[in-house]
Structure 1
Amino acid sequence: MSKRFSGVVAGLIVLVLFTIAGLLLWTDVNVFRETSTHSPIEKKAPDVSLISMSGKPVRLSSFEGRPLWLNFFATWCTPCKAEMPDVEKQYRRLHKRGLVVLGIDQQETAALVADFSRRFDLSFPRVIDAGKAAEAYGVHAIPTSVFIDRAGIVRAVHIGALSSAQMDAELAKIMGTTGSS
């Protein structure tokens, strides 16, 4: 009986492992990489049209000439919520020096994003992505931050919530400074 039980347990373990492997392949999740295979780093930022909270189109190319931080998020995302107060602080600190922070919500309604924005007292612009921006920038997980310099070149892509120190370092690069100020 113990050999039979061991065989059943081994069979169940194999079944679970194959199920997990299948789900990872099916959802195109790659847990071992930090950047997408379509990484836009050191390339011209893709120009995508998004929808503003007021329903108007917003083209990413309209921000060229200014340092741009794209923050891909969703209202239900716990790590997104965790980093949002620091994103707002950075925006308030640097927007008068030209920084544009663009919160790019992933396929939710304007009402949900507006409620989220009120809860976190967000003053930077937010837009809604139907999936085109996420596809163009190779975003497969949120939060993802894309840092674009004044020349429109993607300088960094970070997957996951950023610490204040990480934000400072990336913003210094695209702002053309060597440290936080």
Structure 2
Amino acid sequence: MFRCTSILGGPRADVRLAEEHRATGRLIVDGGLSHTFLRNGWCTENCTQQVPVQPEHGVLGSAGDGRAGAAPRADYAGAAAVVLTTEDHDDTAHELSGDQPFTLAEYAAELARHSGRPVAYHDLPAGQFLQALVKAGVPVPTPRSSSTSASTPSVRHCSPAAAGTSHACSAGPRSRSPTPSRLP
């Protein structure tokens, strides 16, 4: 049994980061390997790692009003532990995300509430967002993956995969959804 993490939406995902996941998945399936894919959505920590600077500089993104069902890494790990230690996962794919999707504007508003300071969401065109990531010192190729993920039609236009309609880390206990009200 081959078990592998992948990106939410799998072969349908329309983000740059999905290209290598798609190719790997195709090799596994075409090779006839018995498999289980854990297709993880956005990690809460992708937002919260910037909490120390966001009240001062705002939240940067390129997602428009798109909603993403992010979940903490610990929830994805918990789902993986269940799949690794239980039966009946052969030749399956688990689409995992948080159970309460939110926009980056909602995230910024909740961060403002917690910090007691105004926090703006700066919705940038994809090219400007990429430039902002590079200017901030994010190593290449990470900015390209991040900018296309945050500006992708699946987030910007709220596809089911990005909106949390997949399993809410349901291979295990209910997700501690990273709704803005549950931010650290």
Q: What TM bracket, shorter-length normalisation?
A: under 0.3
TM-score normalised to structure 1 length: 0.26
Looking at both structures, which has the greater relative contact order when contacts are Cα pairs under 8 Å and sequence separation is at least 6? 2
Q: Between Structure 1 and Structure 2, whose CA radius of gyration is higher? A: 1
Which has more strand, going by share of residues?
Answer: 1
